[in-house]
Amino acid sequence: MRQVVLDTETTGLEVARGHRIIEIGCIELCERRRSGREFHRYLNPQREVDRGAAEVHGLSDEFLADKPLFVQVADEFLRFIDGAELIIHNAAFDLGFLDAELARLGAGGGRITDRCSVLDTLKLARERYPGQRNSLDALCKRLDVDNTGRELHGALLDANLLAEVYLALTAGQGEMSFDAPLEAVSAVEVAGLPAPRAALRVLRADAGELQAHEARLDAVAKAARQTPVWRQLQG
């Protein structure tokens, strides 16, 4: 499964008042692992950055003046996200701004959800932790994700943090996979006839495999924030 963790920074909070995207940061995950591929661009919004927004992300009009326009990076950005599941914190905000930028491209721009499915980690966190603060900073603290370098917001920085938060939030989900494909079932087995008996080969986990298994159980227990039944039975 291919996923893209995405974050943006903007000139202000209200897309309806003509505010624009000034930074896009994306991290690619393949089968819940970082692929090493990223998309990161600063953009010239062709308007001033609100003072309040600048205090959050530290991006000034002077810094953005020589950066490309969204239209100049749109094709590359859309190729990067096409067909992926987007992971976004408070997705409605980012999608609203991205769809507004696509609308400026003309009839062929469409909408982000025409190209990608979307998973909103804010909604996921609210289901997991109802009644609690579920900002990105709060989740980093709750899930032991190191955000000490986040003095200012930044799209790529926040996408990296969100990737770790997402993996911690969903630890234990989708992990039951096999590296090797399943062998084909023989016609004898399909017919329900007894297959020729063969000596069974017993494979035992080595020390490294046992250690990896314990690490996965620790991750599941940490995400659940309680001692699992199998740990209680071991005790």
Query: What CA–CA distance (Å, rounded) separates 149 from 137?
Result: 11
Q: Could you give the residue numbers annotated as active site?
A: 153
Tokens for 76, please give them.
Answer: 């590359």
User: At a CB cut-off of 8 Å and minimum separation 6, what does 72 contact?
Assistant: none
Query: What CA–CA distance (Å, rounded) separates 87 from 116?
Result: 10
65-123 pLDDT, tens per residue? 999 999 999 999 999 999 999 999 999 999 999 999 999 998 778 999 999 999 999 99
Q: How far is CA 106 from CA 78, 80, 214, in A?
A: 15, 20, 53
165-211 pLDDT, tens per residue? 999 999 966 544 444 344 344 444 444 555 555 555 556 666 766 76
142-167 pLDDT, tens per residue? 999 998 877 778 999 999 999 999 99
Judge whether residue 141 has pLDDT over 50.
yes
Residue 33, pLDDT score: 96
Residue 228, pLDDT score: 60
Tokens for 186, please give them.
Answer: 């023989």
Q: How far is CA 181 from CA 172, 184, 229, 232, in A?
A: 21, 9, 31, 34
Residue 177, pLDDT score: 44
Judge whether residue 5 has pLDDT over 80.
yes
Instruction: Indicate the pTM of the whole model.
Output: 0.72
pLDDT band with cut points at 50, 70 and 90 for residue 52: very high
Query: What CA–CA distance (Å, rounded) separates 157 from 25?
Result: 8
Among 160, 157, 164, 165, which Cα is nearest to 57's? 157
Residue 178, pLDDT score: 41
User: At a CB cut-off of 8 Å and minimum separation 6, what does 121 contact?
Assistant: 87, 88, 89, 139, 162, 165, 166, 169
49: helix, strand or coil: coil
User: At a CB cut-off of 8 Å and minimum separation 6, what does 124 contact?
Assistant: 169, 170
Query: With contact defined as beta carbons under 8 Å apart, do 64 and 58 qualify?
Result: no
